[in-house]
Amino acid sequence: MSDKSILITGCSSGIGYQVAHDLHRDGWQVMATCRAQADVDRLTKEGLTSFRLDYSDPSSVSEGAARALDNTGGRLFALFNNGAFAIPGAVEDLPGDALREVFEVNVFGQFDLIRAVLPAMRRSGRGRIINNSSFLGFVAMPFRGSYVGSKFALEGLTHTLRQELRGTDIHVSLIQPGPVSSRIRENSAPHFKRWIDWKASAQRSVYEAHVLPWLEADETAPVRFQRPPSAVTPKLRHALTARKPRARYFVTPVPWIVDTLRRVLPARQMDYILSRR
């Protein structure tokens, strides 16, 4: 079973929840982690092996890695770094502590976890490290600065790690989903309320016209090009099982479209397209 063992983070809902159940049905030894104990208890009742892992808590990361390695006899095959969060807001309105909090979860905690399991993969002589990114890991959009910055950093470190592991049987991939149905608005709202003083912002009118309505919108309403979380599973399966997995996997049409446009259009035209509301 250690050849089909995987540690997945951020499994309380969305992509993490879906792929954990899908791989479990495929016969994988899945360790589906969550930040909140209530979600761990729920997943355990659903038949998954689940325990707490909170990227923002270094002791939780090290304990989660140790538990995954113990469960696999020190031969964990794969890690899927999926957990992340965002604080919507203009860059000029993001306090430094808010940015640090986003980077702690979306970047530092994820690479703490990678560093904790990588020595065991080296001893085993094989492994897969897959990081969940976004098309916002290679282009920017307004009022998403904290998320964009963290995903750019995640992608830079992921590409570098892949190059550094060249010649080994430890493969590193990125998944870039695009719009996938999730609870991102619901999960972003408390962070926005905590950190962003939009009423005092020079961009207050933009918050009122666009950001607040987005946060309050019905997440069940259809979005153009949106796919369900299950669309990620085939890409993840390929990254886990292919002899030569790809460096990056696009899931929905949006990453394909944006990647093509950025290669052919000047930056100012891309800014115009990506800034349209």
251 neighbors 175 (Cβ within 8 angstroms): yes
CB within 8 A of 130, min separation 6: which ones?
A: 78, 79, 80, 81, 172, 173, 174, 175, 236, 239, 240
**Which of 17, 55, 147, 249 is flagged as catalytic?**
147
Beta strand 49-52 with 78-81 is unpaired
Q: Which of these, 80, 134, 163, lies nearest to 250 by C-alpha position?
A: 134
User: Does residue 17 carry a catalytic annotation?
Assistant: no
CA distances from 143 to 34, 54, 92, 197 (A): 27, 26, 10, 13
**Residue 80, SS3 per DSSP:** strand
- The token duo for 236 is 């993840």
List active site positions.
147
